[in-house]
């Protein structure tokens, strides 16, 4: 598989190799935590991104997921669900081409 940007190959390999090389870890999703959850994490020095009403915490190394989950559990944040998600080929593509998708179309 090859990923191209402006007619040039920027990366190639198997899907799993591309995800391992460029995917960058695991994301812990705190569904329904909202702005208050994001602010509570940031106040404790945890980098958090607000996406709608969900808060994303990126964990770069697999060995850091369990300790981060324990740390997040110790902070009382109202939420509807907590789950992890691994990087996908779409994440790798967007990272490599420096773009974002809007409704399935590359946005400027």
Q: Where are the domains of the chain?
A: 1-24+87-102, 25-86
CB atoms within 10 A of CB 97: 15
CATH 3.30.420 for the 25-86 domain, yes or no: no
Q: What is the pLDDT along the chain (108 residues), one digit of tens a residue?
A: 999 888 889 899 998 888 888 877 899 999 999 999 999 999 999 999 999 999 999 998 878 999 999 999 999 899 999 999 988 888 888 888 886 555 555 555
Q: Which helix (H) or strand (E) holds 101?
A: strand 100-102
Report the run of H or E that residue 50 belongs to, with start and end: strand 49-51
Residue with tokens 């390999």: 13
What is the strand order of the sheet 26-31 is part of? 49-51, 54-59, 26-31, 81-86
Determine which helix (DSSP H) or strand (DSSP E) holds 98, and give its type and residue range: none
């Amino acid at each position: 598989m090859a990923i191209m940007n402006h007619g040039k190959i920027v990366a190639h390999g198997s899907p799993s190799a591309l995800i391992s090389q460029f995917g960058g870890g695991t994301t812990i999703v705190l569904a329904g935590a909202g702005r208050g959850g994001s602010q509570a994490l940031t106040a404790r020095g945890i980098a958090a991104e607000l996406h709608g009403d969900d808060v994303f915490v990126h964990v770069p190394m697999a060995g850091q997921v369990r300790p981060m989950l324990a740390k997040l559990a110790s902070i009382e944040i109202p939420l509807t669900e907590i789950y992890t998600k691994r990087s996908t080929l779409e994440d790798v593509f967007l990272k490599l081409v420096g773009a974002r998708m809007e409704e399935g179309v590359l946005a400027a």
